[in-house]
Amino acid sequence: MLDIKFVRENPEVVKENIRKKFQDAKLPLVDEVIGLDKKNREIKQELQALQADRNRISKSIGKLMKEGKKEEAENAKAEVVRNQNRVAELTENERVVEEDLKKKMMVIPNIIDPSVPIGKDDSENVEIERFGEPVVPDFEIPYHTEIMEKLNGIDMDAAGRVAGNGFYYLIGDIARLHSACLSYARDFMIDRGFTYVIPPYMIRSAVVDGVMSFAEMENMMYKIEGEDLYLIGTSEHSMIGRFIGQTIDEKKLPYTLTSYSPCFRKEKGAHGIEERGVYRIHQFEKQEMIVVCKPEESPMWYDRLWQNTVDYFRSLEIPVRTLECCSGDLADLKVKSLDVEAWSPRQKKYFEVGSCSNLGDAQARRLGIRVKGEDGKKYLAHTLNNTCVAPPRMLIAFLENHLQADGSVTIPKALQPYMGGKEVLVP
């Protein structure tokens, strides 16, 4: 959410930003917001004037009574009543206007960074750099679930009977590999100075409103019936929510946190599901990175965060590339975003395994996360998040890149301690 003062003083900048995101239907919101803001300030001014008059008149009543001017005192009392009635009316108007203003403000997208490439959708994202040499072996690579089945590692038919499409049972070495990737990611991030956190897996609606756009919420979140609770789609939600309504001592910044959680998403309604695959699923687990920092430090942390993901995948000998997300592919709260994609030898292309985002002060403004500087002045924090690893999707890249011609799967040295010393998985 933008600062209303910024919108008021820079309406054309806000409109041009909307055009860059190809959301022209939102252009009228800018003028509507400015009109509501003007009306809101007028109401507040009248309220202040009425309250000042009420105080003045109330003080005069006692004086009039002492002077025996009962009729004038009664008139003054009547004026106080009229004043109170008008205050009550304006207070209700103020509530309605502010509610409408906030609702519209939360739909206006954040100002994107000048470096973001302009494009309509993810087809116009821009490749930045490749890490590792993508290889296509001289033998056929089966579909990832077939690799898992030969290792007795997955049962999607049973999961379908139990929970429906988009769920899975991971078994034996594949289940262990799944957990090993997460445990290794945890220690990988701790070694880089991040504090490990296990957060709540449910959050209240006030936090949901603060961390994501309405469109994202509708497509992603599962609501708990009869409760003001949602299942998290990523631990970023509850991790940033931890700071709601807080004023942070500047000396404590930056907060560099790495969190584990299961994640729950309505992927079917939003994207469609490959019934046999584990690419788009309703539940998965993830090791996340979260940073809360001073505004001037967020560009630096943005680069550090995506580099961590690249380094993690390269330590597992998986080729990756980075893609700069174009303006039309950015969620409304994001200032800048970069995807990390892993190489798929079977598909002979890269696919997304992580996403790094700088949200500027958007989440902090919505959630009221402020920082108290050494000079005593308060300002909004900046927040960032990034995926370190999210299995079982990343297992697709792992299995395809480490599959051997005989159907065995090699385990990189970095992961062997988490696999009980195993160097290879044999069908």
Active-site residue 186, yes or no?
no
Q: Name the pairing type of β-strands 283-293 and 255-264.
A: antiparallel
Whole-angstrom distance, CA of residue 1 vs CA of residue 354: 24
Catalytic residue among 186, 265, 321, 366: 265
For 366, residues 6+ apart whose C-beta sits below 8 A from its C-beta are: 1, 106, 209, 210, 211
Catalytic residue among 79, 285, 297, 352: 352
- Residue 407's identity, in one-letter code, is G
> φ and ψ at 290, to 5 degrees?
-130, 135
Catalytic residue among 213, 346, 393, 400: 393
Work out the number of other CB atoms within 10 angstroms of the CB of residue 280: 16
Active-site residue 280, yes or no?
yes
For residue 13, give Cα distances in angstroms to 9, 10, 27, 36: 9, 5, 11, 19
Active-site residue 161, yes or no?
no
Active-site residue 337, yes or no?
no
Of 115, 121, 21, nearest to 333 (Cα)?
A: 21
Work out the number of other CB atoms within 10 angstroms of the CB of residue 61: 18
Residue 311 burial by CB count (10 A; 0-12/13-18/19+): exposed, middle or buried? middle
Catalytic residue among 327, 337, 355, 357: 355
Active-site residue 265, yes or no?
yes
Catalytic residue among 130, 176, 204, 280: 280
Would you name the residues annotated as active-site residues?
Answer: 265, 280, 352, 355, 393
